[in-house]
Each structure stands twice: as structure tokens, then as C-alpha cells.
Structure 1
């Protein structure tokens, strides 16, 4: 579906752009593991791994479940308690069933499920799509060298325990001869989803498949392939590295770089998120050791903007007051759980400040500004630069709760490692216009003015400047400073005056990240050549569309 938005006039421009970005049939698969739609908003809850790892037992799970209730977090939505790896014995029983470690869990898992349900909570369990879990306990997958898997048997066991949520990891997946690793993972996770569905019990599936293909922040072709199909197996998925785990021997060790790293790989994947399908950058650790109060607030704000699962991994009874306040902030929770289900896009970044924009149900827009630096920064964000030109808004600061009418610019001081976040309610405005940077391979930006050569479009470091502020038109155009991104001679891409018919100037945004020029059917491609000796960058070009080629993947404004 092209970017032009004529076909469905009853929808807003932002909603139609969502349709265009999600044109592939697998944009959301809320019934992948059940006939009942599941996880239509991002799951919330608690998991032991980033705090306890394998040092887990029934007492600790129950204590954290009780703390979710006593702190009020459960009533605010943190309702799924998941037991991660190391809960079982090293061998299956004679019937092939998994065996609960009764030293750790003396009452067993069926009892634990009943206890959690009696508290109004949901029960989550961990397994692995390989033949062994990451900690070398029995997995559900095909044995090394071939043989029968245990997907159906384990799914039936989980259903008998009244499990509500399954985290399916991806260690030790066997790759049969003649198949690629990507094919083996796809078959394994499709088998997991089919097995869960066959039980008849609705169980949310957290699929870890993409995490086993990540190659840096922008990823490689197989990573993008897996992101393309994983939503047909599960409702959420881990795409990259684990959040840094708590080290009790060095509790003051900073974990902030890990939060930024996970935010980094997740922030470009807007196109894959929607009701029943969620990008998961791993656990919330706000209020736990390793983050300052400001850093904890930032993580909550960024995860909320990215429509990420809100799954704590901490000792809930020992959360700091500031962490508990951030995690329990009802405005941030409402932002995370917004039913439209759109993930924010990074519309401006300069290495110090990131500006994110998220369309919300009912026409509101959320705007956040991350300050990566170690000093406070005064920031100003024009409404026109977040898609609201010639507009007045009611701007609610989601940290303080204060509201003000804003006519042109959001201004505030953002502290070191803080993230400011507002909810904007437009007043008498035109429809929002997706505005911001086009981010491509290497996390660089399409740049149309600060270049050598009239009309040249190159890939440059992102600056947040006007030369990288693109507007996605409702007619399928991609514009900068009033000119249109155009197919030029010999495959070149250039800025040119917008023609009446927009010939060579209409673009389709595909769910795999490709930006396709309609007339030629070719894809916008980032240059592979380094800058020339004089410092000038290579120009963007049109090229034949490939299979999940990273140089043809683009993150667009919303």
C-alpha cells in the first residue's frame, strides 16, 4: 500500500500511515497461539531472571508476587508472574515429562499457578525451543542430530498447570543438514505456537527467536527475516541482548549503558508493533540497583513510548521509592497500554538528544526527549517538527501532571540521563503529518541539503537539523523543504520540484522497512561506499529490491 492516503478517507492520516507501514499480512497475529485474541496491549508483570538468575525458588516467587499486590503494582496492571530458567530437574521422567525441582518448588507448579490465580495474578513459565535451555536443562525442541521433539507434550503439561504465559527461549536449537539457521528457528517456533494452540488454553507466547540473529543495532538480513515472521508465532518477542543482570557482589555497578543499548536496537522497529504483536527490549529494572532515579524514570518513559512490555525483574519489596513511583505512574502506564498500539519513532537524534513521537488512540500524540548526556540540557521542540504544524495543543507533562496550552514550541530543561515526556491533545488542528528523519543503515540519516551537488540526497550522521527533516505526504510523496524525493537519472535519487502527477515521486513503505519508488518498483538504498577523499558522502540510489537487505531498510517518522 503506498504512502498516499486517499483510499480510506474515514481514517486519520496517522492511522492510514499505520496501515501503509503494516501492509504485510503478518503485522499483528493476536490469535497465533489461541482462538482468543491475546496481548492486545503489551504484557505487564514480573520475571526473576535479571535479578535472581538461577537462584530462584518458590519462596522468592511467592514473595515477589505478594509484593506486586501489596505495593499496588498488580492493580495497575503488573499481573503476570513468570518463573524463568532453572526451575526443573536435569532429566525428564520415564514418560518424557518435565520434572519440577521439588527442592526449589516443594509444592510444584500446579500449586504455584493456583496460588498466583488466587491473588488475581497470571502464571508464566520458561522453556526453550532447543533441546536444552540456556542453562542446560531439558528443552522442548528436537534433540541434537534429530528425533522427536516435546513441544506438544510440554504445552499440554503447561496447560494442565493452568499456565497463562510461556517464555520460549532459543538456545541450542538444532539446525538439520540442508536447512539454514533461520529456517530451523522458524519451524521450531511455528511448532511451539501450534502446540500451544492445540491445548485449547489461551497462553501468551513470548518468542526469543530474533535475539539469536541480532548483529549490532541495525541487524543483518536474517534478523530482519525473523522479525518479519515471528509475529505469526507469538505475541511478543525479544529481539536482542539481555538487560544487564544484577550482581549482588557489586550492587552499585551501573546498568545504564545496558538500558541505552536495548533501547538502541528496539527504537528502529516501529513497523513491527501493533495490537497482539510487541517488540520486547527486555526487562524493566527501574528502582533496582544499577540505575539512578533519573535513569529509572528514563527507562520507564522510553519503554512506554516504544509500547514495550512492562515486565519487572527485581526484588519488588526493595524497589526504591522513586522507582516505585515511576513504575506506578498511571499516566506512563496508560501511554504504554494505549490501545492504538503504535510504537514511537525517533524523529530527531543528534547523539545527545533523541526526540520520539508516538500516535495515540483518539488523536493525541506523545512526545519524549531523551538526554543521554551527563549534564542538564535546555530543549525546545517545535510542534511542527513532531507533525503538528499550525497547531495549538494541551501539553501534559507525564512526570509532574502539569498541563499548559502550547502554541508553537515545547520547552523544558531535561536533566542528565532523564527523559521528558508529554501527552499532547490537539485543539482545532489539522491531521498530524508524519515528520522527522529517515534513518537508514548504520543509524545514519537521509540528508538532502547539506550535501555536495544540487539536489543530491546522501546518508550522513544524524544531526536533528532541518536538512534531515522529512515530511511523509498524504499523496505518497516524501518531502524536504517543499521539494520531493525523486527518482533521478541512472538510478540516482534526488530532490526536485514536486510535479503535478508526482511521477517518480510516489513511495510505498513496506513492513520489512523497504521504501519503494512506485513507478520503477525499485527500493531506496543506502550507499555502501565510504565518503570520498574530499569528505563528500555517496548518494542514495534506487536499486532492485532484495530479500531483507539491511541497506534497504528504513525507519520512518510517524
Structure 2
């Protein structure tokens, strides 16, 4: 069952941290191509075949799902881009080097499919690869292994002639020339893709898969962070990691929950890269499809909305459960996902059972979500003071039930196993919200002021949602505070908690886009210690060291 709001809760307002009716849709107007036209100012929405059909795709299936989007009302609610993934073409190009549609699968061709979708008020998406071959070994757009001419411009012009609106550009089989690193080769390739699309004569949104080919675990490695730093210069959205688990017809009931949690896991720390025209993409929505319960489906929709993630379904739309369609079509959750501020929510509190996320919104509201990771129903309680809203009242709207309640103490309710509560909070006479919550570093651990290694010590520890991990961002002074003290540059490179002294050196911090926390006077970066060799080893202190090039131990996620 959806969570029930049963207590009262206080006030809140949006804040910026350190420098970030089911009628059929009308026919879409043909866009005017311009390289200066802003694209995807809110997260793209639509459908893609891959996580349900993989290569078992053809014209009839695409048309059936497009029709189902319109029939269910999902298209009218924004799910308007229909994308054909890998395996739509023949294994060889034609004599002129052009891609050839497999007419056994798509008898009317791709230009016809584009016209069909546009007549339905939908947009047309197509798949290609920046390498020499797609992941399923069909012709890619990139140079062949060993070097040679690429097809980026030729393929972009072809897609433009088909009136394509959206290009998913994968990254399999990409040749790395001698003398270049893999990261440099991908940057060059995706830069060429972006230039080709801009020169094609038609505006096409680019979904770039480059970061996914560098992911190393949830927190990632140095090259992954480098790619995340530049991929927004090429595309409007990007896949950062593993694919969502695909539907298995031989085992339709197999759970896909762990895959949803895995993709949420790597995406939740990357809010610094998101904003209008640039979106972190943790892969497809499979809510309402086989492998997720109703609660798990709500969780995926709620968490993706909190993360300003693209809402791209990959399922048999005609067979979605009624509960899944209700979750996917929830107007309040869609509005949350599409909020024009484009600020991705952040994890502000977590332990083995619960995670609390907060997201500032354009009109001054603030969204709050609580994920129940456990396999049992749980009572939840989130004090407003713990999410930066102290001594005030807010009107809290439960986005699943639609119920509104004035709250001046805590958000409370009962949450089913694997469910996620989502509220939209509207302040009433509140002061500006103070970003409050965890500071997460390498390995998704938490900066902790538990004083386990000396007075004022700050260490890295497992996240507990405890008060010793509840930091605030000082208003106007770039300080980071815990329990009334400030994170400060100490002796011998260590950092410590000390009395706050506005204007004094060592307590002013800048959070850069690459995730680094830089101390203003020294120019040094906050650095996480290496993980302890054994679970019972003493915790090591955080230190200031020279800032490196996208060092994983110098990347931090802050509350918003």
C-alpha cells in the first residue's frame, strides 16, 4: 500500500547549495533545426524496446507499443519519444556506405515509422553506436578497428532525413588509436557524434552512453569521473553504468529489484552534473512490468523522479499492471521529475534500512522521499529539522495518495517493504531551508564526527543516519557544520571540528563540479582515507592533500 502521512511536519523552502484527462496528444509540430536550440530542458520521457524485447524487435511491436502509449494516456502525460534500439538494421552497409534497414523486421522502413509516430503526436528515436559495431555486432558509426573513415556525418544526415528526434548512441567496439587513452578516444568519438548531429539540419537529442563504459563499482574510478565531467558537452543525457535487468520470458517472475537498486545506487551521488539540458540516466523504467512488485514499481518511479532522471519505459506497455500504469502516470510524480529547476535530489540520510532524499524545486517547494530497503513494513519518521527545516510549518502533500497535511514536527507514516514515500512540502512562513545531511565520499561512506580518534577528529565511517553525520551548509560563509562546530583545516594536514569563527582561514569550502571540496586558503582538497584493512581497525581521519585529477578519494556528494 502507498505510505500514509499521519503526523505533522514543519517548514521548508528551496535552497541552492554552493554554486547548482487522458486525451490523445496533438500532432507534434516539426522542429526547426538550429545548433543553438536548447534541447531536453527537462528529462526526456518515452519508451525503448531493449529491456523487454532486446533484439526480438520489429515494426509491429514498435507500433503496438506506440499505440498503447496513446491509448493508456501515458503519451499525453509526456511519454512521447519512441526509440528503436539495436538490431533494426542489416549486418552490412550499402555500396554507398549507408545503413540499411532490415525490411524483414521493418517492412515500411524507418522514414515511414517516423511519419507514423509523428502523426500520433509522438517523437522518433533511433539507436546507433559510436564504435565500429553496435553491441549486437551491427554496423556502428565509428572508425573500424585499426583506423579508417567513420560514418558519423553520413549517419546523422540519414537520421535527419528520417525525421529522427532522438539518438541513443552506444559505446561498444570503439577503437582506441595508438597514443591515446580510452578516455580520450571516447571523448573524441562522442564529440564527433555531437558535431555531426548539430550539422545535420535537424535538432536531435543525444543520449550518450560513454560513461557506462568506464564504471567501476558504485563510486566509480578516476576515468569514470573524467567522462562524467565532459559528456554533457556532447549529449543531453547519458547512461553512467550497468543496464537495468532485462525481462526473461523463460522466467517472467524473476525479481528485478536488485537491478533497480543497483542503478539507483550509482546514480544517486551524481547530482552535481544534472541540470536543464543535462541529465544523469540510470536506465529504463520497468515499473509495472514483470519482476517488480507494486511497491517496488512505486519506488522506482519515486526515486527516478527525485533524481530528475529520464522517464523512459522499457516494457510491453499493453501488459503493464494497473498499479504500474497508475504509478507511471501519476501527475504529481511526473511534475516532480520534470521540475524546471532541474536540480537532482540528494541522499541526506541513510543506513541499512532507510534512505531519505531531498530535492529543491523551482517554486520554493521541497520534495522529500523515504526508501524502505528492508523486506518488512516499517514505521518511518523524518524530523523536519533533520532535513533543514527548523521551527516552522509546511503543507505536506503525499504524492501517492494526494492527501495534504500541515506538519510542524516530523513526516511520519508506515511504509511497505521496498516501498518509497514521496512528499512535496510547501512552506508557510519558513526561513530559507538549510542544506542538511550526509557528506558522502569514497565507497559511499560518510564523513563522521564521532571523535573516535581524538577530540575534533573527522573520520570516514559506514553511514548510520546518526546525528554525528548530520552536516549543514552555512548560510553565506561556505562553512560545513556539525553539532555547532565547523569543519576546519587542522595541523599536519588533518581536518577537524573546531569553533566556528567567521572570516577566519581554514573554514571556507568550495564544492567544485568534479566533486572536490577545496579549502579556500590552502587550495588543498578534502581527501578520504583508504578503507580500513579490517572491520575492527581504527577509523582514519580525513585530511587535506594536493588536489588531483578527478581523484576518487577527493569526490564528495553534499546535501541540498
TM-score higher than 0.5: yes
> Residues of 2 paired with 1:495 and 1:135: CA distance?
54
Q: CA deviation at 1:14?
A: 5.4
Partner of 1:476: 478
- 2:443 is paired with a residue whose SS is coil
Aligned residue in 2 for 1:241: 242
Question: Would you say 1:454 and 2:455 are equivalent positions?
Answer: yes
Aligned-partner Cα distance in 2 for 1:297–1:236: 23
Secondary structure of the equivalent of 1:185?
A: helix
CA distance in 1, matches of 2:556, 2:376: 31
CA distance in 1 between counterparts of 2:36 and 2:97 reads 28
| Counterpart in the other structure of 1:498 | 500
Q: 1:4 — aligned with what? A: none
Q: Which residue of structure 2 aligns with residue 321 of structure 1?
A: 322
Aligned counterpart, 1:40? 41
CA separation of 1:489/1:532 partners in 2, compared to 1, >3 Å: closer, same or farther? farther
Contact 1:32–1:193, Cα closer than 8 Å, also in 2: no
Rounded Cα–Cα distance in structure 1 between residues aligned with 2:360 and 2:16: 12
The residue that corresponds to 1:53 in the other structure is 54
Alpha-carbon distance change, 91 to 534 in structure 1, aligned in 2, over 3 angstroms = closer
SS in 1 for 2:246: coil
Per-residue CA deviation, residues 361-383 of structure 1 (Å, 9 max, x unaligned), is 11100000000100011111011
Match of 1:99 in 2: 100
- The residue aligned with 1:266 is 267
Cα deviation digits, residues 458-489 of structure 1 (max 9, x gap): 00000000000000112110000000000000
Structure 2 distance, partners of 1:33, 1:462, is: 47
Residues 1:555 and 1:164: Cα distance change in structure 2 (over 3 Å):
same
SS in structure 1 of the partner of residue 67 of structure 2: helix
Match of 1:312 in 2: 313
Q: Which residue of 2 aligns with 1:366?
A: 367
Which runs of 5 or more residues in structure 2 are unaligned?
1-11, 21-31
Q: Secondary structure at the match of 2:432?
A: coil
Aligned to 1:9: none
442-451 or 336-345, which deviates more: 442-451
Mapped pair 1:178 → 2:175: no
> In structure 2, how many angstroms separate the alpha carbons of the residues matched to 1:112 and 1:142?
28
Question: What SS class does the counterpart of residue 183 from structure 1 fall into?
Answer: helix
Alpha-carbon distance in 2 for matches of 1:300, 1:211: 22
Distance in 1 (CA, whole Å) between partners of 2:535 and 2:314 is 49
Name the CA distance, whole Å, in 2 between partners of 1:14 and 1:488.
Answer: 33
Q: How many residues align?
A: 537
CA contact (8 A) 1:170 1:208 kept: yes
Structure 1 residue 337 displacement after superposition: 0.4
State the Cα distance separating 1:528 from its structure 2 match.
Answer: 1.4
Check conservation: 1:33, 1:205, Cα contact below 8 A: no
CA contact (8 A) 1:517 1:524 kept: yes
Partner of 1:153: 154
CA deviation map 1:220-277 (0-9, x unaligned):
0000000000000000000000000000011000000000000000000010100000
Q: Are 2:15 and 2:435, in contact at CA under 8 Å, matched by a contact in 1? A: no
Q: Structure 1: how far apart are the matches of 2:401 and 2:449?
A: 38
Supply the distance in 2 between the matched residues of 1:343 and 1:222 (Cα, whole angstroms).
22
Q: CA deviation at 1:16?
A: 4.2
- The Cα shift of 1:424 comes to 0.3
Counterpart for residue 407 of structure 2 = 406
Q: Which residue of 1 aligns with 2:542?
A: 540
Structure-2 change in CA distance of 1:45 and 1:214 (3 Å): same
3-state secondary structure, aligned to 1:442: helix
What residue in structure 2 maps to residue 215 of structure 1? Answer: 216
Aligned equivalent of 1:551, options 536, 541, 553: 553
How many Å apart are 1:502 and its aligned residue?
3.2
Distance, in Å, in 2 between the alignment partners of 1:319 and 1:533 is 44
Return the alpha-carbon distance in structure 1 between the equivalents of residues 177 and 464 of structure 2: 46
Aligned to 1:17: 17
Asked if 1:344 corresponds to 2:372, the answer is no
TM superposition shift of 1:351: 1.5
TM-score by length of 2: 0.94
Q: TM-score with structure 1 length normalisation?
A: 0.95
Superposition deviation, residue 352 in structure 1: 1.1
Cα 1:420/1:533, change in 2 over 3 Å: closer
Distance 2:545 2:325 in 1: 50
Partners of 1:260 and 1:41 in 2: CA distance = 23
Q: Report the alpha carbon displacement of residue 534 of structure 1 after superposing the two structures with TM.
A: 6.4
Q: What is the correspondence of 1:250-261 to structure 2 with a 5 Å cutoff?
A: 250-261=251-262
Match of 2:527 among 513, 525, 528: 525
Q: Is the 8 A contact 1:344 1:356 kept in 2?
A: yes
Q: Deviations over 1:279-310 (max 9, x none)?
A: 00000000100001110110000000000000
Match of 1:293 in 2: 294
Taking a change above 3 Å as real, the CA distance of residues 292 and 534 of structure 1, as seen in their structure-2 partners, is closer
- The change in CA–CA distance for 1:520 and 1:81 in structure 2 (over 3 A counts) is same
Kindly provide the CA deviation profile for residues 46-102 of structure 1, in whole angstroms up to 9, marking residues without a partner as x. 000000000000000000000000000000000000000000000000010000000
Deviation at 1:385, TM superposition (A): 1.1
Q: How far apart are residue 13 of structure 1 and its match?
A: 9.2
1:542–1:90 Cα change, 3 Å: same
Q: Is the 8 A contact 1:386 1:436 kept in 2?
A: yes
The Cα of 1:499 is off from its aligned counterpart by 1.3
Pairing 1:488–2:522 present? no
Aligned to 1:361, what secondary structure does the other structure show? coil
